[in-house]
Structure 1
C-alpha cells in the first residue's frame, strides 16, 4: 500500500488542523478553561513528525504527476 500524497497537501492539512485546534483552545479559554500553549505546540510538531514518518514509511512522496507513458 502506498500513500499518494503531495508534501503541499500534507502541510496544508496540518496547518488547517492546527488552526482548528488552536481556535478550539481559544473558545475554551473564553469559557474559562485555560490551557497552556506549550503542550499544544509540542503536539502539533509531534503530529507533523508522525505524519511525515508515516508517509515516508508507506512509499514516500508523490514527486511526479502520473501521465501517459510514451508508446
Structure 2
C-alpha cells in the first residue's frame, strides 16, 4: 500500500478490491499471490494480484469464483 500511496493511487479502491479478492479466493491464496507478485519484481498493483490469482486458479484446475449477492436480513 505504501507504493500505491506514493503514486497517489486511491487507497479506498485498492482496499475494496483486495477485500473482494479475499472473499473470493481466501487468505492463503491471496497471501501467496501477493508474495509471488512482489517476488517477481513487478510494480505492486491490485490488478497484478488479481491476474496472479487467476493464473494460480487456472493452473490448479479450479473453476472461477462467482460472486453471490444475498439479500440483507431486515
Q: TM-score if structure 1 supplies the norm length?
A: 0.31
Q: Tell which has more relative contact order, 1 or 2 (C-alpha 8 A, sep 6+).
A: 1
Answer with 1 or 2: which has the greater Rg.
1
